A and B are shown apart, each in its own frame.
Chain A
C-alpha cells in the first residue's frame, strides 16, 4: 500500500466519519438555527471526504473511487481518529468533539496548502475556508456552554473529561506521518500540536473549562483499531451497498 494512499485515507476518513456523526443530528438539534448550522458542517465534511477519497482512489490506481472506498472497506481499513467516531452524546459532547477536531484541522490545512502534493494542497486550500468557519462555530459554543449556566458548564466539562483521552492520537508521529513530512507532503505534526494547544488553552480559558489531570490516552484509529462504535457506523453507512451490491444509485 502506498504511503500517500494511506495518508489520504486518514484525512478522508476523518471527514467521512465525523460527517456521518453530525448528520445524525439532522432534525434533532437544540434549536432550528443550530440544526441548519450542524447540517452545513456535515455537508462540508461529506464534500471533503468525497474529494479526499476520490483522490485516494486515484493514488491507489486499482479502479476504486471515493464511493467504493467510503462504502466497501472492512472496519480495519478505516483510518480515522477515534475521536471522530465517538457517539454524539448530548450537544456538549458533539460540540467539544467538533472543537477539538477543528482546532487540529485548521492548522493542518493551513500548512497543507504548501504541500508538495498539489492535489492535497488544493483540497486543503478549499477545505481551510470551511474549517475556519467550523472552528469559529464550535469555539463559540464551547465558550457559551462553559461560561453559560451551571448545568451547561458541568456538561461541557464532562464532555472534555470524556473526550480528552482521544486527543493525543491527533499528534502521534508514526512511520507514515514522518515519511510524509520528510517528503514535504504532510505538515509537521509538532507544529500543529503547538497551534492546537494555543487554541484549546485560549478557548478553555474563556469558557472556564479545565484540562483533565487524568492523562491516560487512547489510540488505534490511525492503524485501523477502532472503538466498538465504528462497527455500528459502518453498518448504517454500508447498508445499501452491502445489501444491493454492484448497482447504480
Chain B
C-alpha cells in the first residue's frame, strides 16, 4: 500500500471518529490506535481481576450473611467484567493468555489502588464507595468511546456496577452511625483509601503523555484532572453526610467554581506503587501467577477430554 492511501485511510478513519461512527474489529485502524486500545483495555481487565483479591480477602470473614452474599456477588461481577474486557481486547488480536502473561511478568500494569491492603471490614465499604466510585467516573464516559466492542463492554460493566458503589456506601454509613469502634474503623479506612483513590485517575494532565492523542481518538473522553475533580466534588459532601472527615487538611472550597480544591498528592508514592513497590504488588501478582500455574492441569484435562470426544465422534 502506498503512502497516499494510508493517509487517505487515516483521514477517513479520523472522519468516522469525528462523526461518532464506531470503529468495529474488522475495520481499518491505525496501528497505534490498536496498540493504545489493547494497552488500555487489558490494563482495565487486569484491574478487575487483581481487584478481586483485596475484596476476596474478606468474603470468609464478612460479618453477616447478607454482607457475605453481596460481597460474593460483587467480586463475581469483577471476574465477569474482567472477562468482558479480555474479550474486547481479543477482538483487536490480543490473545488472552499472552495478555495475562504480560501481567504476570510485570510488563502490563493495573490500577495501583489494588496494591494497598484491606485490613478491616470497613475497607470493603471504602473500596465500594471510593474505588468503585472513582472507577464509575472513569467508565461512564467510556460507554461512548470510539471502539465498538470496548464501548459495549463498558455499557454492560456500568449497568452491573451500579450496585457496587451503593453497597460500599451503605457499609460505610452503617459503620459511621454505629458504635465508636465502628466509626473509628470507617474513618481509618477513609484515611487509608482517600489518597490512593485520587491517584486512580492517573497523573496530572501536564504529566499524562497519552491523553491528547487518546482524546482525539475518543478512547478517552475526559482528562485525568477533570475526572478527579468531578470525583472529589461528589464525594466530599457524601463524607460529610455520614460524619466522616476527608483526610486533607489543605482542602478548600472554591466558592466561584463550586469545586473542592485538594491538597498536594504524593506522586512519588504513586510512581513507586506503579513501579511495583506498593505494599501488596508482589502478593497480588504471586496469587494470580499461582492460580494460573495450579490451574494448568485442569485446563489441559478439559482440552484432552474435548479432543478425545471429538475423535470418538468422528470415528
A/B touching: CB–CB < 8 A? yes
* Contact flag A145-B298 (CB < 8 Å), given A27-B287, A28-B291, A39-B76: yes
Interface contact A147-B308, CB-CB below 8 Å: yes
Within 8 A of A (CB), among B54-76: 56, 59-69, 72-73, 75-76
Closest beta carbon of chain B to A98's beta carbon, Å: 14
Instruction: Identify B80's interface contact among A20, A36, A91, CB under 8 A.
Output: A36
Report Cα–Cα, A151/B302, bound state, in Å: 12
Residue in chain B with minimal CB distance to A207: B305
For residue B297, which residues in chain A have a CB less than 8 angstroms away from its CB?
149, 151-152, 155
Interface size on B, residues (CB 8 A): 48
For residue B82, which residues in chain A have a CB less than 8 angstroms away from its CB?
32
Report Cα–Cα, A34/B62, bound state, in Å: 23
Interface contact A36-B60, CB-CB below 8 Å: no
Report Cα–Cα, A43/B69, bound state, in Å: 6
Some 25 contacts from A to B, beta carbons below 8 A apart, are A23-B60, A24-B59, A26-B52, A26-B59, A26-B72, A27-B56, A28-B287, A32-B79, A32-B83, A36-B83, A43-B76, A50-B66, A53-B65, A67-B64, A67-B65, A71-B64, A90-B294, A148-B304, A149-B297, A151-B300, A151-B301, A152-B304, A237-B61, A241-B64, A249-B63
A47 contacts chain B at the CB level, 8 A cutoff:
yes
- In the complex, per-residue mask of B87-124: 1 if CB is within 8 Å of any chain A CB, else 0: 00000000000000000000000000000000001000
Closest beta carbon of chain A to B111's beta carbon, Å: 15
A40 contacts chain B at the CB level, 8 A cutoff:
yes
Interface contact A46-B65, CB-CB below 8 Å: yes
Report Cα–Cα, A91/B175, bound state, in Å: 37
**Which of B65, B79, B178, B287 gathers the greatest number of chain A CB atoms within 10 Å?**
B65
Interface contact A31-B298, CB-CB below 8 Å: yes
Closest beta carbon of chain B to A117's beta carbon, Å: 22
A248 contacts chain B at the CB level, 8 A cutoff:
yes
Within 8 A of B (CB), among A1-55: 20, 23-24, 26-36, 39-40, 42-43, 46-47, 49-50, 53
For residue B73, which residues in chain A have a CB less than 8 angstroms away from its CB?
43
Report Cα–Cα, A43/B304, bound state, in Å: 30
Instruction: Identify B65's interface contact among A28, A49, A90, CB under 8 A.
Output: A49
Closest beta carbon of chain B to A108's beta carbon, Å: 22
Closest beta carbon of chain B to A11's beta carbon, Å: 15
For residue A70, which residues in chain B have a CB less than 8 angstroms away from its CB?
64-65
Interface contact A244-B182, CB-CB below 8 Å: yes
Closest beta carbon of chain B to A248's beta carbon, Å: 6
**Which of B56, B75, B175, B305 gathers the greatest number of chain A CB atoms within 10 Å?**
B305
For residue B305, which residues in chain A have a CB less than 8 angstroms away from its CB?
143-144, 147-148
- In the complex, per-residue mask of A127-155: 1 if CB is within 8 Å of any chain B CB, else 0: 00000000000000001110111011001
For residue A90, which residues in chain B have a CB less than 8 angstroms away from its CB?
294
For residue B231, which residues in chain A have a CB less than 8 angstroms away from its CB?
none
For residue A29, which residues in chain B have a CB less than 8 angstroms away from its CB?
291, 295
Interface contact A248-B178, CB-CB below 8 Å: yes
Closest beta carbon of chain B to A87's beta carbon, Å: 13
Closest beta carbon of chain B to A101's beta carbon, Å: 19
A26-B72, A29-B295 known; 20 new pairs, CB 8 Å cut-off, are A27-B52, A27-B53, A27-B56, A31-B299, A32-B83, A33-B83, A34-B295, A35-B52, A39-B72, A43-B76, A46-B72, A47-B69, A53-B65, A70-B64, A71-B63, A91-B294, A91-B295, A148-B302, A152-B300, A249-B171
Report Cα–Cα, A214/B213, bound state, in Å: 69
For residue B69, which residues in chain A have a CB less than 8 angstroms away from its CB?
43, 46-47, 50
Interface contact A249-B174, CB-CB below 8 Å: yes
Residue in chain A with minimal CB distance to B171: A249
Interface contact A240-B61, CB-CB below 8 Å: yes
Interface contact B291-A39, CB-CB below 8 Å: no
For residue B86, which residues in chain A have a CB less than 8 angstroms away from its CB?
32
Report Cα–Cα, A168/B215, bound state, in Å: 64
A239 contacts chain B at the CB level, 8 A cutoff:
yes
Report Cα–Cα, A241/B63, bound state, in Å: 6
Interface contact B301-A240, CB-CB below 8 Å: no
B179 contacts chain A at the CB level, 8 A cutoff:
yes
- In the complex, per-residue mask of B25-63: 1 if CB is within 8 Å of any chain A CB, else 0: 000000000000000000000000100110010011111
Report Cα–Cα, A244/B305, bound state, in Å: 50
For residue A239, which residues in chain B have a CB less than 8 angstroms away from its CB?
61
B181 contacts chain A at the CB level, 8 A cutoff:
yes
Interface contact B76-A36, CB-CB below 8 Å: yes
**Which of A28, A145, A236 gathers the greatest number of chain B CB atoms within 10 Å?**
A28
* Contact flag A23-B72 (CB < 8 Å), given A30-B299, A145-B298, A249-B63: yes
* Contact flag A148-B301 (CB < 8 Å), given A27-B75, A32-B79: yes
- In the complex, per-residue mask of A52-74: 1 if CB is within 8 Å of any chain B CB, else 0: 01000000000000110011000
Report Cα–Cα, A43/B67, bound state, in Å: 11
Closest beta carbon of chain B to A99's beta carbon, Å: 15
* Contact flag A30-B291 (CB < 8 Å), given A39-B75, A148-B301, A244-B182: yes
* Contact flag A248-B174 (CB < 8 Å), given A35-B79, A36-B80, A237-B61: yes
